[in-house]
Structures are given as C-alpha cells and as structure tokens.
Chain A
Amino acid sequence: MSDLTDLTVAGIRDGFRKGDFSAREVADAFNGAVASGRTLNAFIVETPEHAIAAAEAADRGRAAGEFSPLSGVPLGIKDLFCTEGYQTTAASHILEGFTPTYESTVSARLFAAGAGMLGKLNMDQFAMGSSNETSAFGNVISPWRRRDGGNAALAPGGSSGGSSAAIAGRLVPAATGTDTGGSIRQPAAFTGISGIKPTYGRCSRWGIVAFASSLDQAGPMARDVRDCALLLEVMSGFDPKDSTSLDVAVPRWEAALSGDLKGKRVGIPKEYRVDGMPEEIEALWQQGIAWMKDAGAEIVDISLPHTKYALPAYYIIAPAEASSNLARYDGVRYGQRDLPDGAGLQDMYAATRAAGFGSEVKRRIMIGTYVLSAGYYDAYYTQAQKVRALIVRDFEQAWEKCDVLLTPTAPSAAFGLGEKQADPIAMYLNDVFTVPASLAGLPAMSVPAGLDGQGLPLGLQIIGKPLDEQSVLDAGLAIEERAGFAARAERWW
C-alpha cells in the first residue's frame, strides 16, 4: 500500500469506504507526519487524540454500514477557528491560554461530517500578514526550497501559512483557511496547493476570531480542486448566528465538477499586468490563457479601471474594522492581562494591549483608529467605501462580458523569511491581485500552475460571479488537468 499521507481527501474518503484501510490507520499516519514535521512549525497545538477519536468513530460507523461525507478524514484547523476545549489564539500572545467553550460553525460542520482534527495551525497574528512572520508562536517554514542550494528558509505565505505548509509538507491532507485580502489564495500559490475563498456569506463567520468582518471568509485549502469542492460543500451553509450568512442552498459542487469550458467566457483584466512583475509570471498567465482556450473557453479582454485603488481602499477598510473588532481584547473577559502595580482600569487596558499584541497588529489598530477618528472619517473611511463601490461596479460590468476572470495569484513566488519584514508596504503588495475580489465579496481560488526558475510554485487565480463557485472550480479544474502540476517539496525536515 502506498503512503496514506500521499492521499487526497477524496482518496481517503473513497479508499476508506472501499475498505482499503481503516480510519485509524489514516489518523495514525498523519499524526506521525505531524510529529515528525515539527521543524516546519506549522502547528501551535497538536491534537492527535481528536483525530483518533474521530477515526475510531468512523471505523465503528463503517462496521455498521454508516458513512458521513468526511468519514475517516483528518484535517488541520487554522488557529482562527474557535475549537471547544482546545486553545485558540489567532497566533497572538493576547489570547494565549484561551480555551473556547464553544465550537465555530465551520469546524462544527466539518466534525459533524466525520472529520477529525490533527491540530491548530499556525498563522499570521490575527490573520494580519502575508508571510506568517507576525505569529507570536514563531515563523512557519515552507517545505519548499530554492534550487540554488542555499537552503534559505522561505515564507509559506500568509496569513494561512500553517495551513499551506502543512498541506504542502503532507502533514495534513487538507485544512481550513480564512481569507480577508488573500490569506487563502496567496499561501496556496506559494506552496503549490489549491485554495478557494467562497462568496462572502457562504461560510458562517460565527466562532472565527474576527479581523475585518466585511471581508473575512473561511474556505478550504487542499492538494487539488476536487478536495476544495467537497470540503467547501461541508463548510458552507446558512447560519442564523451570523447576520451576514446567506440563506441560499449549497450546490453539489463536487458532483458537478467539469473541466470542459465550452461556452464559457474567460476575462483577462488588463490592469493586472503590473510594472515590474517577473517575466515568468507573465509567461505563466499566457500559458493559463492557452489552457483556457484548449478547454473550450472564449477569451475576452476586460478592463477593471479601479484595480489600482483596491489595495489603498483595503488598507483603510481592513484596519478600520480591525481596530473596532480588536477593542474586545481588554484583559477582562479572556486572554492575557497585564496589570502594573497600582494601575487603574485604563492603565490595565493599555498595558494589556501593549504586551499582548504584536507590532503588525498594533500598526493596523493605530491606522484604523486614525482613519476612523473625528475629522478624518469622511476623508478616509467614507471615501474608501465609495471607491469600494466603484470596484464592485467594475466587476459587475465585467460580468456582462465574461463568466470568470483569470489572473496571476501573487506578483512573485515565495520570498525568503525576513526579506520583506522591514517594509510593511512591500509586504502589503503581495495581495495586490487578491484584494480586489475580497473587496467585492467574490468567490476566487488559486490553483498551482507551474514552477519558476528556482523551482518554486506559482499559482493562477480565478475570480467568479457572486455565488458562482461552480464556474470558479470548473476553470480551476481545467487548469489543473492541463498543468499536470506534480511537483512537491523534497523532504528535508
């Protein structure tokens, strides 16, 4: 039998049903991979007992002829999802020791479908970052290395960097991620895996530590498009506990998957051709266009004129929402408290937050507080929300001419840890291609499409109409079938 950790989620599900192996064998194999992969620092907490309990339940169910959609499948859960009885920190010191007494809706749905949890995955602190370097629990190291022999430690992307590294290193078959401005798609691109952010409102935000509530969406990260489709089916669905949850039916995305794009129009937005973008990414984009044509699609030139304003609008809206959401960390109800001798309540708040938040989190709270403060609100926040409306309008006009958009996922391959730490703006630019779809609440996914000259993965992004995840997944599958991406990080850890 081949190594169980090489199986996809669908492979585990189907092999388990057929009786090729037990769920316990799968859980043991992945628990072993997690334990021997600690060098990558992908996990903040390992939960082998949770994975084993779910596996034993799945094995008992199989003996009785009962199967759930994810019976026998162990998953990694990003540490932004509250997990009952298991520490949840959002990778911040301020939540160290916080053990939720409730389960997030998304993780509850996955567990109810039979999945087990291998552990809580490391991430950028409060999901603020694009390299996983803002975690209070240390950097995650990508399993990938450049071909130059230098063995430089590379970023797994962020904020879902523990998720991407764990999947690429085959420590987990798939994981949850969250995406506020690209936090599923960019790490997926950096590590040669797939990931989809669904339409805003598909997945309940209840029980997910909030960063920017009008942007945050959960989604799956996995090795291929099929796994993304089947996991998203389980994660999605109406939840009365989230006021922005959409009360719409969840389609059977996996069953309907098709890489045949006949009759589909694929838009190529000219504004995504940025000065200074590496030639290899431009070439890969052209290759992607050729693959779309080969799959039967018609290619259409599109203009999204406000694209260049997406990043600046995002860096007003997201910090503004974050400054409000993160006001709850005050040292009173949960998490860490810092109480200097003789301090009053206000001093306790300020000391707690100074000690508990990392520097990037403080930076964003400060920006958010500033742009929302008296006298600046209209100039910054209101203007940003108006520009956001124009970005949404750009997409609406594009949908009159095409069904999906094809773009690169990120403007570069994975960079080295520390290379962009000194300049916050350089880091923010990683999300230049992913932020527009976030601001418009659109479904978007990244699929691995090739390697650069250093042997590092590059991804292509597909953006779809609201609620049309099917077209996004289908176009992703069309790329996957033609790219034949089989490269994997050679094991060194």
Chain B
Amino acid sequence: MKRLFIFLLAITTLLTACGRGAPATPVGQGLPEEAAAVAAERGLTPDDIYAALKTYMPSGQTDPYIMLASGGQSGQVLVIGVPSMRILKVIAVFTPESWQGYGFGGSSMEVLAQGDVNGNQLRWGDTHHPAFSETAGEYDGGFAFINDKANARLAVIDLRDFETKQIVKNPNSINDHGGTFVTPNTEYVVEGPQYAAPIGWEYASLDDYQEQYRGLVTFWAFDRFTGRVDPAKSFQIELPPYWQDLCDAGKGVSEGWVFCNSFNTEMATGGLELGNPPFEAGTAKNDTDYLHIIDWRKAEATFKAGKAEEINGIAVIRLQTAIEEGILYFTPEPKSPHGADVTPGGEYIVVGGKLDPHVTVYSFEKIKNAIAAGGLSTDAYGVPVIPLDQSMEAQVELGLGPLHTVYDDKGYAYTSLFLDSAVARWTLGGPYADKHPEEPWTLVQKLPVHYNIGHIAAAEGDTASPDGQYVVALNKWSIDRFANVGPLLPQNFQLVDISKTGDQMKVIYDMPIGMAEPHYAQIIKADKLKPFEVYPEVGWNPDTMSVDPNAITTEEQARVERNGNTVEIWMTVVRSHYKPERIEVKQGDHVIWHLTSLEQTRDATHGFALSGYNINLSLEPGETQTVEFDATMSGTYTYYCTEFCSALHLEMLGYFLVQPE
C-alpha cells in the first residue's frame, strides 16, 4: 500500500513537472518581447499570465473592492484590497495594537475595558464573522461589526475612520459563533450562540445539561446616529441547548426572519475520559439537526410588549414565550450541518451538510405555508418542527464537507467543500433559473483550492444584489503554497475569478495571512466607503466624533496647570515639535495629558511614545487624545514621535521629568 502510494506520488510529481516544463500552448505569444522573455524564464503558463494580469495593480491605482476579513484569534479585522489582495490595514478590535496606539492610552483604553468580564481584563479575542451595516439589504459602507467567539462579545467599527468604537459584552453568554449578521436595515446586529451554557455564566452540573443549559440568540439594537449598540433596546431569545452555529438574516421575501443552523441536537455532554463518546462523536450521532427559524419581528413585538424577563440587564424572551408567541420553529437539516445562507432575494436558505455531501435548500415560501397550516409536531422542548419534505426545495450533491455558500449575479451559488478542498459552483433554481445556461440545482464545477477551505466570500456576495467577479476561498491550510517559515504556517486566501460562466472558474492569486486564522470575510464595492482623509476639524475626538472640549487649536494655548497633586497638560503636536517640550512633575502626581494634532495634511500622522510608562498614541491629523496616569516612578523620561513625520522627526521629542518625593 505504502509503495503504491509512493509510486502514485512520483507519477503525479512527474506529470506536474512535465506540465509546467512544457506547456501545451506556447507561452508568451502576443506579449511584448520583454514580457514574453520573463514568462519563458519563469516557466509561466497562459493561466499564470492571465492571473497576473487580472490581479496586478499598477502603482497609484486602487482596488475596486475592499474585503473586511476576520483576524481570527489575533482579535483584529483585516482590510484587504481585491483583486490585488494587498493588506491595507489591520484594525485593532479586541487586542491591543501599538501602531494605532490601541490599548496604550487614550480613548481606546475605555473601549477595551467595555469588554472586560467581571473586572477581568480580556485583551484578546477570536474574531469570526465581520458584517457591514446594510440599508435595504445592501452594504452601505457606514459601519462594520465583528464578534469574539471566545468571550461572546461584539465590536462596532466606524468606517469613517476604520476604528473600533465600542465593545459590548454579552451579559448572559460566555461564547458565541453565529454573529455578527445584520438585519436588512441594520435594525439589529445578530449574535448567535455556540456552546450551550447556563444563562448568565452560572454554575450548573453537566448532569443537568438538558434542564439548565441553554442557547441564546441576541438581537443587539444598533443606533446609526450615535454609532453604538444600545443594550437597553436589545433583546435575547432563549433556545434549547442545541449548539446553534451560524445565522443569517432573511431579506426580500423573508425579511423579518433569521435562520440559524445547529449541530448538537443530540445534547452530547462529552466526557471521553469517563468512557462517554467524545464530543466529536456524540454530536454527530443523529442524521439530522435543526435549522432554527426565528420570526424576529414577532420577537421584537413580544419584547416591546414587556413579555421578556430581564436577566443581567438585558431582556430575555424565555423559550416557552418564544414557542407560545410563534417566534421559533425548527426544520431538520442533515448532518451536523454548517452555515445558513439566504439567497439574494431571500427565497431560499442553503445549509451545508458538513458530514453529508449535499447542500439542502429550504424554501421560505414552503416554511411559511407549513407554519400557517399548523398541526406541527414538536421537539423535546415543545418547539414546532416542520417536516423536511414540507420545507425543502432541493438537495444538491456537491462533494465532501460542504460548509458555507455565497452567491453571484448569474444565478450561481458557491459552496466551500472543506474535505474536498474545493469550491463548488452550482445553479440555483426558481427565479434564478433563467440567469444561467445550466439546469437548476446542479453542480457545474468543482475548483480545487489549497487547502481545507473554511469560509468563502464573494463580491457583495450576501447582499440583495451580488456583483459576481470574484470569490475568495479562505483556506485553513497552505501546506506547500509558500516558503517554509517554520511549523506555524500562514493561512491561504485564494482569489477565484468567477467572471465567466460554466466551468471556467480559476484561482488567480494566493495570499498568505501570516498573523491569524481568519474565518469569514465580506467584500464591499470600494466606492461605497467614504472615510475621512483627515479628521474634519482640528481637535477631533474620534470616540465622540466631535470636537473635544480639551482640544486646543493653536500653539499659544499650549500650557501646563497644576491643581494640588494633579498636573494637567494641554499639548500641541505638529511637525516637528511638541509644545510644551519640557514637563516637570513630582513623583506621585496624577497626570492628565491632552494632546492635539494641529495637522490637517493627509498622512501627516504623529506618534506619542512615553518611555517607561507603557504609553503610545497614534495622533492622526486633527486628532485629540487624553492620557491619564500616575507618575509613580521618578526619573528622567522622554516622549517622542513614533511616526517618521518629517526630516526632523528624530528631533520631535520632549523631556518628562519626575522629581523624586
């Protein structure tokens, strides 16, 4: 067996080598002489040349799409240009990040502190699913949201400056997964649960799992005007402990509904060491789990009617209430499924089989009819269950490990196949059948990707009007795609050209992500984003998005005032000096340091690094920040600019002198 394997491997290698050494078509035909020489020298195939031409971005040109990718356990969010696949920025969210001065003084300290649990500082996060704010089911470029699976937190990023403005800790869940997803007009940011736990992080024995443990889906009310989530207007719905996984909001015909898959209706509680089946087996026993179907408009009405119970400061609609009010329904889904992705018009919900080679397509119309007809049997908790044959529209066999599905403008769906390491293109039926030449509900092409694809993202792929053009495969493993940099390997984002119909999808770029394991990503048209070039006025507080009361606008206003043991400093920052340049305090003084950048020129950013005191700010043009600390250590310290702001950047410093007591 082993020999056969080696033989096969050798043959494969040989064929591959031949394939690259002697391409079928002469390479470089029709290319300029110099380019043809490069192609010949590097042994590029016509496909390679096509890929290069599709993705190369000449200096000064910008990408038509921007991808916002989760930064996984880095706790950040990545901003990437598509199709050039260049990282433009890494937005600090749950983890301190010193370039942006995030978590080293200034207003970011308070943002990070909002996510603490019972006073415990949490300074990392496991970001999973970013979501752009939407208007009428289209990304509007205003805000973005991201969850932290590890601690059930949600963050708000303002796309005017691409900075994190708020972290909200879920007061009743300790982990999440099915977030963030927004309703079509961003009324709510949905945070779905993951591993069931007693509500509010209480202790309960695993023996009482079925009675005490619960899932919780949270509808965070988002106020566009303040740019903040308002917990007082938000509510949660109690769910059976089935490990709800990924959610998606209905749109178009299914607007007002949310769908979440689940994968532990077995209610396995593990205990491998006790001789129980391990979680991986226990949760995979049943042939089907339940797709959760939630009428959020009804839930909202129930919450507003006061039929919710307040737990830890947030309204919770109890499971019994949800059943009685007709908020929650189930329908079976095979098998240990993954993903719940609503088609652009909202007609269908596609669920990947994960351990079943099919995607199951549910018809919202059928679901609605079944609910209206009534007479449904219930699960162990009394939730009505719609039989599969009354909710299913189609099942399409795609291959092994179907997970997530995105859409294009030609009536195709694209599903990631984890085990097959492939992207499956298949056809939708119903109103989408006329958009493609193939039969509805059939597999069109399986494109190998490298390797172990998890999520998949398409240009405007989960809006009401996807763009087509590009799909990005978010591959978990890269194995042999990049130079070896040790046993921790980068992930591989592979750009797929989907602009042509039929079986003509092509991988056209490999992008290593050497800093995290991203999960989901969304891709927005770049022209929908209208961020500031510089802050609108000198003295701008990015936290309040208004002029800071402690801002000063001229160097004449720079000053130091002492009030008892408090020293308050109003400092200006401009190329290439701080004013004042000497600050003298006594050991033990409380220091309040307001810094205002007087710059209004694009890219004229300054830093403010105070040695020894763990303080480092990024002061973008016009920005005001306030740092507060106790001068506990005596000595001579310097503060200096960490951005190479000008030819006299090294000279931009000051002395902070702390006289001993």
The answer on A and B forming one complex is no
